Amino acid sequence: MAESTRTGRVVKVLYADDAKPFVLFELADDDGPVVVAAQAAGVAPGQQVRVTGDFRDHPKYGRRFRATSLLAMAPEKREGLLAWLGSGRVPGVGPKLAARILEHFGADTRQALETGAERLAACPGIGERKAAAIARAWQGERLARETFVLLCDLGLTPSQASRAARVFGEEAPARVKADPYDLARVVPGIGFRTADAIAMRMGVEPGSPLRLRAAARYVLESAAEAGHLYLPGDVLAQEAARVTDRPEEAVREAIRILVAGGEAVQEAGPDGPLVFQAGLWRAEVQAARRLRLLAAQDARSIPVDDVRVGDLALAPSQLRALRTVASAPVAVLTGGPGTGKTTVVSALLHAGQRAGRKVVLAAPTGRAAMRMKEATGHDAKTLHRLLEYSPRDGRFQRNEAQPLDADWVVVDECSMLDALLLDSLLRAVAPGTRLTLVGDADQLPPVGPGDPFRALASSGTVPVARLTEVFRQGAGSAIVEAAHRILAGDEPETSRPRGDEPGDFHVTIREDPEDIARMVETLVVDRIPARFGLDPRTDVQVLAPMRKGDCGTDALNRRLRARLNPDAAERAGLAPGDRVIQNRNNYDREVFNGDIGSVVSAGADGSLVVRFEDREVRFDPEEADDLSLAHAITVHKSQGSEFPAVVVVLATQHWVMLRRNLLYTAVTRGRRLVVVCGSRRAIRVALDNARIEPRNTRMVERLRGE
């Protein structure tokens, strides 16, 4: 089919993935609306674009215009006004009415807004009361409004403009004009590709050193998001050159400038230079140094041989583990589900208190801390609360100058600790304080960069107590049995009912992805509530390896939302009754990445009130962007959490993510019930793939002093 060119305004972004990049949007031009698919990023509603391509028929999504090129036109000055009027800042005024106001007044829109309510009331569809409300909103917070309008004129979306204004204040337009890549460096939720698109619209040259340095930062940041602390210098240069379509030598010069300016650190490696983000390099170096110093301390062994937990004496393997951690200044306690880690921690707590030691318990997440508190009967805090994070200062208050008031610090779920959080913890552990790190080394590595718990456990530099004998739930939970079978590479089996009680582990085989998705829906909405009396909205959590595909979390969330919250299914944003997850730490609200709640109310301006556990939190419109549907979440997002019931989804379309430790981690998230739903081949692939994806880190070498 012959190519054609269409020019028009972006009406609505239907789907965007800046990582690929890829965008699907509705375009309005003289020939009417059309759905456009393009390899691009940073496309925003209201933006003028020119696309070249042809029409294609998609087997699932119908007819759409496939763009081979997309050119963002210079933003019109009307776009900022349109964005402000339609942003929800004025009750009762949305995008449609905003567009009508601009159409009516044209180039005189700003003058009409300045004039006041009487002139605004002349616009069709605006009464005196609404005109007065618009006029009041326009006159109020003038500086914030002008900042917002100018940012939108530069090409930012309303949400992005709000974030930038919050971070930069009234200097935001000047900062963006001076260096649009500051958006990616400083403003949460704005990445390099979005900033780059804005820079291109502003006329930044493709070979600008500003752009090349930003690209190198982006590649290092992307590597950190994948868990790596560094990249080989050649790999960094090649990838940054690919991203910018510039020569490698030009990129290498940009990298040299980053190193000279202290933004990056270059270190000699066995096959060439290694390049770190400066903060990550410092975190790893300092954490290793502090661990070596703590481990070298003299520590008197605490008597533990007669310790009991309640009326129960410890099993021999548990007692050996307790002796190990009680005799060392730094120790690792690791083991799978049911092996008694919590029992050993409870005994450790009792022994420490009996010996007059102040023992402090903590965990990376709120859910993990709560489980620790319930199991031990002793207060346990999240690490952020223990270290007293201050949103105002952007740092932890507990550090070398003000260390923790503790003789013994015990941290659970340490497989979730990344390099930065471990470094922050160690800064606050004073000399003479014992440190015991507890976790399951067979689970997935942390979401953040590094894998320090596994590195410490394998380094040979501190005592490691490994629990392997299963004790939990008497004759044994089928969930625990399945988890250990998975670790051994054996297929888990559906458990048999015990009397009137149905089994707690089930495998449901479906081969086709669509069949798998339908069965997941049936399990969550119908079968599990009917058989186990669980609430599908709060008690049943679906876990999948990835977001994309028919069996990814995005598609499953849409399917489950249509059944569990049908009143919200047709709404574009989140709505009351939606189960949601926080995707970024929000220290101001004390809500952290991975926290799950439910929407209580939604404001016309895009604000939300969400209930988390026992408290309600209000999110401003730009903060609400960090929330997403959570009827289904990725396995990685579930780390540190437990749920009454878990449905684990495995399909062959998840191929690149199918690993034994992923399946193991997913299964161990369920307390009362686990159902694995997927294809037999996908399960087998996961079981056979015991390889742990290596991360670029030098923690083991630094711990050993190499």
pLDDT, tens digit (0-9, with 9 covering 90-100), for 25-52: 888 876 778 899 988 777 777 677 778 8
Mean pLDDT of the chain: 88
Task: Return the structure tokens found at 507.
Answer: 């495998």
Q: Is the pLDDT of residue 20 over 50?
A: yes
Cα radius of gyration (the chain) = 28
* pLDDT tens per residue across span 275-313: 999 999 999 999 999 999 999 998 788 888 888 887 778
- Rounded to the nearest 10°, the torsion over CA 370, 374, 379, 383 is -30
pLDDT of 585 reads 81
State the distance between the two ends of the chain, measured CA to CA, in whole angstroms. Answer: 62
List C-alpha distances in Å: 425 to 276, 342, 402, 452, 520.
21, 21, 12, 12, 40
Does 433 have pLDDT greater than 80? Answer: yes
Token readout for 295 is 């481990």
Instruction: Locate the DSSP E strands across 164-226.
Output: none
Q: What's the whole-number mean pLDDT along residues 203-207?
A: 88
- Judge whether residue 76 has pLDDT over 60: no
Q: Is 383 within 8 Å of 362 (Cβ atoms)?
A: yes
At a CB cut-off of 8 Å and minimum separation 6, what does 241 contact? 247, 248, 250, 251
Please give the helix or strand (H or E) that residue 269 lies within, else none. strand 264-269
How many Cα atoms within 13 Å fall on the side-chain side of residue 90?
Answer: 26
Non-local (6+) Cβ contacts of 469 within 8 A are 315, 317, 339, 340
pLDDT digit string (tens) for 307-352?
888 777 888 999 999 999 999 999 999 998 888 899 999 999 999 9
What's the rounded mean pLDDT across residues 655-671? Answer: 93
Between 91 and 163, residue with greater pLDDT? 163
Which of 452-461, 565-574, 607-616 bottoms out in mean pLDDT, i.e. has the lowest?
A: 565-574
How confident is residue 432, by pLDDT bands cut at 50, 70 and 90?
Answer: very high
Please, which pLDDT band fits residue 5 given cuts at 50, 70 and 90?
A: confident
The band of 101, judged by pLDDT with boundaries at 50, 70 and 90, is confident
- Chain Cα centroid distance, residue 461: 32
Using CA atoms, how far residue 172 sits from 112, 143, 218, 260, 632, in Å, is: 26, 11, 21, 27, 37
Compute the average pLDDT of residues 645-667.
Answer: 94
563-610 per-position pLDDT tens digit: 999 988 666 689 999 999 998 888 888 888 888 999 999 887 778 999
Cα–Cα distance between 226 and 216 in angstroms, integer?
Answer: 16
Structural contact between residues 669 and 256, judged by C-beta atoms closer than 8 angstroms: no
Q: Tell me, what DSSP letter sits at residue 315? A: P
In the chain, the percentage of residues whose pLDDT exceeds 70 is 93
In this prediction, residue 88 has a pLDDT band, given cuts at 50, 70 and 90, of: low
> Which range has the worst mean pLDDT, 94-108, 418-432, 557-571?
94-108
Q: According to the model, what pLDDT value does residue 326 have?
A: 93
**Which has more pLDDT, 93 or 281?**
281
- The listed range with the strongest mean pLDDT (146-150, 306-310, 368-372, 409-413) is 409-413
Range name among 103-117, 276-290, 354-368, 440-454 with the lowest pLDDT average:
103-117
CA-wise closest residue to 484 among 465, 501, 469, 464? 469
- The pLDDT score that the predictor gives to residue 19 is 67
Question: Contact at 8 Å (CB) between 604 and 86?
Answer: no
> Band of the pLDDT at 474, cuts 50, 70, 90?
very low
pLDDT for res 581: 95
Torsion of CA 522, 527, 533, 535, to 10 degrees: 0
Closest by CA to 72, choosing from 217, 162, 200, 210, is: 200
CB 67 within 8 A of CB 52: yes
